[in-house]
Amino acid sequence: MTHLTIPFIAHCTSLLWLLLGAVWLGSAPFSKRTMHRQSVSSRMEQGIVLFIGAFLLFGSPSYPDWLNQPVFTVTIPIALLGLALAVCGVAFSIWARFILGDNWSGTVTLKQNHTLIVLGPYRIVRHPIYTGILAALLGAALEYGLLRSFLGVLVAAGGLLMKINTEEQFMYQRFGDEYLRYRREVSTLIPYIF
């Protein structure tokens, strides 16, 4: 029987990220044809910010040393809380991905016959895929317990907010007042808060 250790718990979280990636890659061919795509410069800006966030969280920067300072001592209960957040976050993102169906894209696009999805997790928040990803990132940060990990979550959140801003513009362009009503009724990322 495997003893429950913090590295084992972190390994389980790593497998969740692989599952999320497999769902993304496996479902990508089933998306509608793209009619309008965000600019390359916009996509690169967001990608760079997200990469920096991921590197801070999952990489091993050795300089400056203060980034590697622990915020707290990671214990088994804290690591399990991190794993629970990661499981919930990945599950929420995958649920949202399947509800979005053939409107989905890895980048900000408008699809042919794009429809406004307001079912399932889209009744809870307007960007549930990003809500799930941020919850999973926070879970991973809890498992590491390092300052750089939590900074990575904040930087990644900044990158996702940039992407949300672009998506919101596209949705307003496509759906007009219908999207504005939806926007007034449903929070961006955190129900009833933001």
Q: Is residue 67 assigned to a domain?
A: no
pTM, two decimals, is 0.90
Check residues 114 and 49 and name the one with the higher pLDDT.
49
107 part of a folded domain: yes
Query: Higher pLDDT residue, 150 or 193?
Result: 150
Read off the pLDDT band of 104 (50, 70, 90): confident
Query: Is 84 within a domain?
Result: yes
Give the pLDDT band of residue 82 (cuts 50, 70, 90): very high
**Is there a domain that residue 164 lies in?**
yes
Residue 138 lies in a domain: yes
Tokens standing for 7?
A: 């590295």
Q: Which two tokens stand for residue 39?
A: 């600019």
Going by C-beta distance under 8 Å and a sequence separation of 6 or more, which residues neighbour residue 134?
A: 89, 153, 156, 157, 160, 189
Kindly state whether residue 171 falls inside one of the protein's structural domains.
yes
From residue 53, alpha-carbon distances to 98, 120, 159, 174, 192 in Å are 26, 29, 8, 31, 26
Residue 78 lies in a domain: yes
- pLDDT tens for 134-164 read 999 999 999 999 999 999 999 999 999 999 9
92 lies in a domain? yes
Total of domains in the chain:
1
Q: What is the CATH number of the domain that holds 178?
A: 1.20.120.1630
Residue 119 DSSP symbol: S
Most confident listed range (33-47, 54-68, 81-95): 81-95
Whether the predicted pLDDT of 83 surpasses 90: yes
Q: Which domain holds residue 131?
A: 73-145+157-185
